[in-house]
Amino acid sequence: MTAVVITGSGLVRETAPPDAGPGAWFDPVPLLGRRGWKYLTLATRYLLGATHLAVNDAGLDPAGFPDESMGVVVGTNFAALPVFSRITRIVVSEGPEMISPAEAPNFSVNIPASTISMRYGMRAFNITLTNPMVAGLESVLTLSMAIRQRRARLGVAGATEERPDNRRIYEGACCFVMEPVDEVTRREAVAKATVAGGWCRFSPPGNGLRALRDPLSRLIGQSGDDVCYAVAADGDIDSRLDELCQQTADRMGIRMRRMGEVDGRYVSVSPMLHLAEQIAAGQHGLVLAASGHGHVAALRLTR
């Protein structure tokens, strides 16, 4: 089976408490230039910025590849909600004729992924995933599967979030350039991590996390005797998933070390930030994400 590796990573994120208005922390000019982004949503700007950094980090020139050989997969939970809310308010209070023609197309949740696809000529596919909390990890798993199945030669997987009016989430985006190891060799690029395994499950809250024990055991058992891991989850799911990891590892005689301070406030971007942190630290292991609704995803990296 073709090994899929990460050759570039890029992230932009809000680091101070979200007391200012959405986007106040982000200056698009250094990453996006002075033109071409005025009518784009904040979530799309963040994703463009993170993709720019990831592509540069990978030393990738997308113009050197056929458009149909490159794909884009993006996870998000709130990218379209701020625009949808604004359009709804305008329709109710002023009438549909008052909607700006420049704003109207942005109600689609697929706009960030489509913008990356158009900007970089990545036209094999562009996919948006929206499962709570886990959509970012799902983007990496989905693109990895597509590359293994030769649906794409390479591509970008990412996540982006923009803060709605009534949520105190943190904003940002994180992206990875992914390609098969033979492409990396041909380009003489550097593989920063290998996507070695992972899964996405739905475990209804009433069932607890017990159903995850076996798939988690298999993933941990493939990771060696000393495993670093990170968790991004809603509320008390974080501590319960952390406890499950420790109990599973103890039964297997494996030492697991939790790393990373990023919590779930970046929503679907949170686990992606954990991946980026592990890659930067050279401590590749497991990243898990979970929502209170029952969505759980896990991804294993190796060097």
Please write the tens of the pLDDT for every residue from 207-238. 667 778 888 888 887 666 678 889 998 877 88
Q: Token pair for residue 277?
A: 């942190």
Q: Smallest Cα–Cα separation from 246: which of 209, 196, 193?
A: 209
Please say whether the beta carbons of 22 and 161 come within 8 A. Answer: no
Band of the pLDDT at 261, cuts 50, 70, 90? low
What's the rounded Cα separation, in Å, for the pair 74 and 47?
9
Of 187, 207, 222, the one marking the end of a domain is 187
Range of the domain at 202: 193-302
Give the domain CATH number at 158: 3.40.47.10
Q: Give the containing element (helix H, strand E) for 176.
A: strand 172-180
Of 127, 152, 187, the one marking the end of a domain is 187
User: Are 167 and 218 in the same domain?
Assistant: no
User: Are 139 and 198 in the same domain?
Assistant: no
Q: Token pair for residue 33?
A: 């230039």
Answer left, alpha or beta for residue 150, where phi above 0 means left and psi between -120 and 50 means alpha: left
| pLDDT for res 225 | 66
* Predicted confidence (pLDDT) per residue in 58-84, tens digit: 999 999 999 999 999 999 999 887 776
| Residue of higher predicted confidence among 23 and 51 | 51
Query: 46 φ, ψ to 5°?
Result: -60, -45
* Predicted confidence (pLDDT) per residue in 90-140, tens digit: 777 777 776 776 666 777 889 999 999 999 999 999 999 999 999 999 999
